[in-house]
Structure 1
Amino acid sequence: MKSRILLLFAFCALISCKREPKNSSAESISISNLVEYKEQNGVLHLKSGNFNYNFKQNQVPFKKIILLNASMAGYISALGAENLVVGVSSPEYIYSEKIQSLLKEGKIQNVGNEQKYDVEKIISLQPDAIFTNHIASFDNTYQLLKNNGIQVIFLDEYMEQKPLEKTAYIKLFGKLFGKEKEAETQYLEVEKNYNALKQLALQAKEKPTVLASEMYGDIWYLPGGKTSVAHFISDANAHYILKGNAEEKAVTMSFEEVFAKSDAVQYWVNAGNHVSKKEMLVMNPFYAKLNVFNKGKIYVITGRERAKANDFFESGIIRSDLVLKDYIKIFHPELLPDYQLTYMKELQ
């Protein structure tokens, strides 16, 4: 009896060993808690938030796409896939010179904006897929496009708060465009750089206190303690004034509340797109009461800006390593003496 049980265990172990490679081939590739995909039985399964998609072998890689969000252009440019784009919305917000050039040549069409999309033009372009953030008020438009055989893929990358997870979306685009190796290579390089920079930041002798964002009207919208801005500040070995906060979204405060927390602040980052401290005071005279305004340093995200287009929200999403490098240069300039800021600029 005992020998039979041992034989049964051995048989089960053998079966499980033989099955293991088959199961691993269908394992999901996780981009973040929001997005994952896997290939199984010739079908690519994609889960993005509450939405699920299935693409057969003859549907991918995509040959013609439309972008309804400027931030997604960063992934396209990183993969050199601009020629796949046949339409974009709000082109004035796209920084990519290649996409702007294709727009001028008429190879990419302007399909409207978030106020109103040109549905007829979109349908006439016959894209394989449209990439966009999900906006509930446009559900009827999305359904109309789907009824005309157009895949509408919702990717809410703006909700990702961990910098490297935002970067990791390049792997999904690589899969959908037949550029998996290029995407994986780029991601691994950024990941390697990012982690090396984190270690470099730990060598700093001081850990400065940091304020972020600015006021709109009477309200200061500070990034929550779990937002991407807070992660960058922490990874750059600095102390964010809302470090203990658990929000992944903006936290609203009055000027008085921020003032009470800001006495020790040495750096103020992501302070909008102002051109000077004088102009900031015109917008809000209360800023003059802050120690950091008078004695500290203020940085805006206009290092790569052209009219309404800002590359911080485009290539900066993929190059999270360069964004982190900017923050380290700001907080600990002695660690990167020869580096010039990429996306940030100090206000005078």
Structure 2
Amino acid sequence: MTTLKNLFTLLLCALLGCTSPSTQQQDADRVSTLQASYATRFDISGEKLTVREPWPGAQSPISYSLGKSPQRVVVTSTTHLPYLELLGLTDRLVGFPGTQYISSPAFRQQVASGAITELGPDGNINLELLISLNPDVVFAFDMGSESTTLDKITESGIPVVYNADYLESSALGRAEWIKFFGAYFDKEKAADSIFNHITNRYDSLQHLASQAAIHPTLLSGVLYGDVWFMPGGQNWAAEFYRDAGGEYLWADDSTSGWLEISFESVFNKARHADYWIGTSTFNTREELLSQDARYGDFAAFQNDRVYNYSKRRSPSGGYDFFESGYARPDRVLADLIAILHPELLPDYETYYFEKLP
């Protein structure tokens, strides 16, 4: 069976003219002047892009040469989409796994028109269909379980570029991956300009929040089974809460990932918290209570101060917060300041967050 699949791949590549990784390396003729200031997972050095840790626990970095700007690309995460859209590259995307989760109106229109092909569920990409699209490159992420599929894509002759933005520990570090895409697509000036705008606005908003007279306390997350999942004290979400002038009750925790805590522990510490921000897929107070009536005992619930990132959703329920929010931390910060300190942004309308009805 393996021999037949390999033969099929070779024949299909011969017909479609798949580009091999070695060919891509030979095309390198550009030098980028971009530098990463906040991101820690990639470097730009002359004619090379280097991903320091392409997946968790990777033993060595991977470098990519800057060749010709690819015209036909596939990406495997909704978080990759805003980089393309911000850089004016929406027409380059030809395939995506799980198109129903796309929130961007521009990309959804292309899906509807047939310009973007559905490649199957994430983690189970239709390899033959992907090869038939003849992409110049596939931008992928690997959390440790996707290597088999990605290896098959590489073996077919299609270059795979690893995106490790999700491993960044800071909001601005993750957003700075627009420079990675900017360098790869020969859009350095645009990427630098866009990121400078984002950082300048973020810094300005953070300074505004620092002038607040009070720092409301807050909790985050919900129960999954018997365990409450919430951001660790060094998680990027906790960074947002701090920069927005809030007092996250688990801010002194040293975890950069996610905490798993019992309901009783959360209740004892956050029963009187002023705000509850981030309730997963629960978008109404009734939905929260239907899962666990004890949610109603929190002061934030009783005082109608529960907010979620549910304001912008795709027709199939995808949250734009988890698509464009990572690329636009300035919007996220503005939303949180407007919630915690409405007097500081009296005319601002939130972009991602809304109060649970």
| TM-score scaled by length of structure 2 | 0.85
Output the CA distance in 1 between the equivalents of 2:86 and 2:92.
Answer: 13
Output the CA distance in 2 between the equivalents of 1:217 and 1:301.
Answer: 21
- Asked whether the 8 Å contact 1:61–1:175 carries over to 2, the reply is no
The answer to whether structure 1 residue 32 and structure 2 residue 39 are counterparts is yes
1:193-342 aligned within 5 A: 193-306=201-314, 307-342=316-351
- Asked whether the 8 Å contact 1:131–1:154 carries over to 2, the reply is yes
2:63 corresponding residue in structure 1: 53
RMSD: 1.9
Deviation of the 1:159 alpha carbon: 2.3
SS across alignment from 2:146: helix
SS across alignment from 1:305: coil
SS across alignment from 1:37: strand
Report the CA distance shift for 1:115/1:319 in structure 2 as closer, same or farther (over 3 A). Answer: closer
Q: Which has the larger radius of gyration?
A: 1
- Asked whether the 8 Å contact 1:212–1:271 carries over to 2, the reply is yes
SS across alignment from 2:94: strand
The answer to whether structure 1 residue 44 and structure 2 residue 48 are counterparts is yes
**Structure 2: unaligned runs, 5 residues or longer:** 1-30
Greater shift in the superposed pair: 192-201 or 91-100: 91-100
Deviation of the 1:124 alpha carbon: 1.5
- Asked whether the 8 Å contact 1:208–1:238 carries over to 2, the reply is yes
Counterpart code for 1:280: L
Output the CA distance in 1 between the equivalents of 2:32 and 2:260.
Answer: 46
Could you report, residue by residue, the CA deviation over 1:214-245 in whole angstroms, capped at 9, with x for unpaired residues?
A: 11111100100011110000001110010100
Aligned residues: 320
- Asked whether the 8 Å contact 2:42–2:49 carries over to 1, the reply is no
SS across alignment from 2:259: strand
Higher strand share: 1
Residue identity (%): 30
Deviation of the 1:309 alpha carbon: 1.9
Greater shift in the superposed pair: 328-337 or 77-86: 77-86
Deviation of the 1:275 alpha carbon: 3.1
Output the CA distance in 2 between the equivalents of 1:31 and 1:214.
Answer: 30
Counterpart code for 2:45: K
Could you report, residue by residue, the CA deviation over 1:73-116 in whole angstroms, capped at 9, with x for unpaired residues?
A: 11111111111111111001111112111122222111112242
Deviation of the 1:28 alpha carbon: 6.1
Output the CA distance in 1 between the equivalents of 2:122 and 2:63.
Answer: 24
Q: Which has the higher contact order (CA 8 A, sep 6+)?
A: 2
- Asked whether the 8 Å contact 1:95–1:310 carries over to 2, the reply is yes
- Asked whether the 8 Å contact 2:36–2:176 carries over to 1, the reply is no
Report the CA distance shift for 1:195/1:299 in structure 2 as closer, same or farther (over 3 A). Answer: same
2:76 corresponding residue in structure 1: 68
SS across alignment from 1:268: strand
The answer to whether structure 1 residue 344 and structure 2 residue 335 are counterparts is no
Report the CA distance shift for 1:293/1:251 in structure 2 as closer, same or farther (over 3 A). Answer: same
Output the CA distance in 1 between the equivalents of 2:298 and 2:355.
Answer: 17
Higher helix share: 1
Counterpart code for 1:185: S
1:106 corresponding residue in structure 2: 114
**Structure 1: unaligned runs, 5 residues or longer:** 1-23
The answer to whether structure 1 residue 166 and structure 2 residue 170 are counterparts is no
